[in-house]
Amino acid sequence: MSDYAAAFSAARQAARALAAVPATTTDALLRDLADALLASTDQVLTENARDLARMPAADPRHDRLRLTPERLRGMADDLRTVAGLPSPLGAIISEKTLPNGLELSKVRVPLGVVGIIYEARPNVTFDSLALCLKTGNACLLKGGSDAAHSNAALLAVAAPVLARHGLPAAAATLLPPERAATEALLTAVGLVDVVIPRGSQGLIDYVRQHARVPVIETGAGVVHTFLDETGRLDYGQAIVHNAKTRRPSVCNSLDCLLLHASRLPELPALLAPLAEAGVQVLADAPALGALAGHYPAALLASATEADFGTEFLALRLAVKTVPDLAAALDHIDRYGSRHSEAIISENPAHINQFLQQVDAAAVYANASTAFTDGGQFGLGAEIGISTQKLHARGPMGLEELTSYKWLVRGQGQVR
Amino acid sequence: MSDYAAAFSAARQAARALAAVPATTTDALLRDLADALLASTDQVLTENARDLARMPAADPRHDRLRLTPERLRGMADDLRTVAGLPSPLGAIISEKTLPNGLELSKVRVPLGVVGIIYEARPNVTFDSLALCLKTGNACLLKGGSDAAHSNAALLAVAAPVLARHGLPAAAATLLPPERAATEALLTAVGLVDVVIPRGSQGLIDYVRQHARVPVIETGAGVVHTFLDETGRLDYGQAIVHNAKTRRPSVCNSLDCLLLHASRLPELPALLAPLAEAGVQVLADAPALGALAGHYPAALLASATEADFGTEFLALRLAVKTVPDLAAALDHIDRYGSRHSEAIISENPAHINQFLQQVDAAAVYANASTAFTDGGQFGLGAEIGISTQKLHARGPMGLEELTSYKWLVRGQGQVR
């Protein structure tokens, strides 16, 4: 850690200073940062081009790495959006006066120093920086080496804006794009309050394996939708199509349709919209029988055991036939990743049982799992979707980047 | 992990069942457990005697290990207290209807499977079991080998009570007193939702080093109290004495007095109550000068650098002289463990600055840090005092043993 200890200590000092910065200052800073980003479009794109030149155009990450004038305008808009959100800091979560006269209040405060580890998406740099500053946290940003020039260019835009508003430079630190920096960050016990990995399952597994500081996992979504014997076919058609095809590469997209056996005759109609979208269907034996001759043969295959519990992140859908709700619940418990799960049903008892018993961050009745998103849930912004149960579950907005402390005011009380 | 995988899987199954158990059942179970414990006093004490026989009487843990009829009555009372607390489960934390008609609610749910790792205190067994069951969590209890017979006897009391109320046996599992069980528990990713270590700093460090599942750290308290130039001497006398001597072995006890230099002439009076209690004072040079001849020489020594930042857990107090509030804040930031910190002052600006800027779970003005306790804070019960900022900070009660999930009810909405 020694190579990075100075940077981490500076971040801790900066966090102390940030705790006293008024929300109006932070909001003005974020708006200035939006202006500065647009004014620096040419420099940022030039540096981004250097990164792009190092990555083969066929690499699937190429598009994520690419910045454009339009994307920079989107980033600037996002900065202004965060500036306009109410600050969660200083809110009194609860307060009471104890019988002995002690006045107790539980007050929302920054987490302190937040580490963000991410991959080849330079837009995450300003997104993370904005959400951390808004919540009074110093951030240690560890981007991927693929985006090193882009990230450095973005931090070069941010540094003078921070200085202009009186914030320490260490309020936002870009760590070098080296594995050693990640390891140091993950073991900086006492200096780093939380690390949030934003990226692939491989990154998250690495972080879990190596972290000695608290982590919020933002993991894979193995997402199911169950059409029971009463569920409306039109709802099913719309919801399955939307959840599967809207953005197949995101974590809330549908991976496995669970179908009550009585609905097998309707399966071709249910999946007709998917055939048009070119979705490959991996069906169990009953579903395969129902679909044969009614779904494009080139897009139809037999499901293997490995297809259940897989996050496809592609136009691919597993289909599993179940005899009843209990079997659907068992399947979800066994194969789900506790992210987003849905039932399509007109039976209120089934709906209630599903909502109560499914253990997931977001549990839906008669709606698309594509809604699992901080913006959609009205959080205003999102730093990720937690798949753990500690601290934050599901979409994480500003509040989820805060902690609290207890303030106790007395007049000499002893116990 | 394979040796324990069956036990962990059973706990996960039990957690699914517990999520549907009504609060009235759990409360009745806990009251029955209190009765069963008292009815089994002889058997439990016999097994406890076997554990005690293996530990030298001079071992400082001997007293913690010992059960007595009175202590069993206290444990039974605690079970009834937990039974009488309101259940946090099912509470709607927030709800809203989105413009598209989706009805969103954020509902409090159990964490799932909670692992508790502790040492030679058999009372922690029932305490943990009660708090976990009350919050709908299955618990995996990993006690110390020193208390193996006692813990087994307690679980033998609990098992028939669980069965009588229809709960699965795996709702509360005592893991074997082997290091391998601890390692398996700490790496049971996907089966264990959180591990809470309850014990010494060595245990907590071990857990942090080896855990791949989420952990709530309940760590050491390096606690300061600052008497500024305006603080009342009578408050200082009472608070310093109480915070140091009430229970020196607990984490909220005072370790270091910070004294404004202008108060040096009053230091002998401030510490007079400590002299009577036999507290050893480790003073910096100015404080040593002020105390020489006014504090028992046998109890007075020069402070070394290592004395600052030390949790003494004994009748020992470091004293540091500071020129101003800023120096006190710096000292606390450097040496504190973010547990409990206090200022004694009549200056409202100092009080506000201290409360705002000190980064700790509980920050006090003019009161003893001995109040950092779940019972004192009105939480009804306490499973530990968190020194991290994620999920829970300070005393953890029932709510801190829960998570939440988002329930979304729609009428076919897609995004």
Say whether B408 and A362 touch across the interface (CB within 8 A): yes
CATH number at A80 reads 3.40.605.10
- If DSSP codes are grouped into helix, strand and coil, which group holds residue B364? strand
Q: Report how far residue B224's alpha carbon sits from residue B327's, in angstroms, rounded to the nearest whole number.
A: 13
Mean pLDDT of B43-67: 93
Whether A374 and A396 have beta carbons less than 8 Å apart is answered as yes
For the segment B8-42, what is each residue's pLDDT rounded down to a tens digit? 999 999 999 998 899 999 999 999 999 999 999 99
B86 pLDDT exceeds 50?
yes
Q: Which pLDDT value is given to residue B2?
A: 58
The total domain count for chain A is 2
Same domain membership, residue A153 and residue A54: yes
The ipTM estimated for the assembled molecules is 0.92
Whether B242 and B371 have beta carbons less than 8 Å apart is answered as no
* Edge-to-edge strand ranges of the sheet holding A172-174: A172-174, A138-142, A113-118, A194-198
Q: B89, B390, B412, B106: which is closest to A377 by C-alpha?
A: B106
User: CB distance from B136 to chain A under 8 Å?
Assistant: no
- B381, part of any domain: no
Same domain membership, residue B186 and residue B277: no
Whether B217 and B203 have beta carbons less than 8 Å apart is answered as no
- A305, part of any domain: yes
* Sign of the CA dihedral with B213 first, then B218, B221, and B226 last: positive
Whether B208 and B215 have beta carbons less than 8 Å apart is answered as yes
Same domain membership, residue A105 and residue A67: yes
Report the chain B residue with the minimal C-alpha distance to residue A354.
B407
Same domain membership, residue B107 and residue B79: yes
User: CB distance from A2 to chain B under 8 Å?
Assistant: no
- B379, part of any domain: no
Same domain membership, residue A265 and residue A151: no
Same domain membership, residue A203 and residue A142: yes
Same domain membership, residue A171 and residue A22: yes
Per residue of chain A (415 residues), what is the pLDDT tens digit?
Answer: 457 999 999 999 999 999 889 999 999 999 999 999 999 999 999 999 999 999 998 887 888 899 999 999 999 999 999 999 999 999 999 999 999 999 999 999 999 999 999 988 999 999 999 999 999 999 999 999 999 999 999 999 999 999 999 999 999 999 999 999 999 999 999 899 999 999 888 898 899 899 999 999 887 899 999 999 999 999 999 999 999 999 998 899 999 999 999 999 999 999 999 999 999 999 999 999 999 999 999 999 999 999 999 999 999 999 999 999 999 999 999 999 999 999 999 999 999 999 999 999 999 999 999 999 988 998 878 898 998 899 999 999 999 999 999 999 999 999 9
Same domain membership, residue A287 and residue A199: no
User: CB distance from A214 to chain B under 8 Å?
Assistant: yes
User: CB distance from B99 to chain A under 8 Å?
Assistant: no
Say whether A408 and B232 touch across the interface (CB within 8 A): no
Report the chain A residue with the minimal C-alpha distance to residue B101.
A367
- B88, part of any domain: yes
Same domain membership, residue A29 and residue A144: yes
- B73, part of any domain: yes
- A28, part of any domain: yes
User: CB distance from B94 to chain A under 8 Å?
Assistant: no
CATH number at B351 reads 3.40.309.10
A231 CB-near residues (< 8 Å, 6+ apart): A260, A263, A343, A344, A345, A346, A366
Whether B229 and B222 have beta carbons less than 8 Å apart is answered as no
Of A16, A104, A363, the CB nearest to B377: A104
- A415, part of any domain: no
Q: What is the distance in angstroms between the Cα of B331 and the nearest Cα belonging to chain A?
A: 13
Same domain membership, residue A131 and residue A99: yes
Same domain membership, residue B108 and residue B48: yes
Residues 343-382 of A with CB under 8 A from B: 351, 355-357, 359-368, 370-372, 376-378
Domain that holds residue A285: 223-371
Same domain membership, residue B117 and residue B203: yes
For the segment B120-149, what is each residue's pLDDT rounded down to a tens digit? 899 999 999 999 999 999 999 999 999 999
Say whether A389 and B111 touch across the interface (CB within 8 A): yes
User: CB distance from B247 to chain A under 8 Å?
Assistant: no
Say whether A208 and B189 touch across the interface (CB within 8 A): yes
- B141, part of any domain: yes
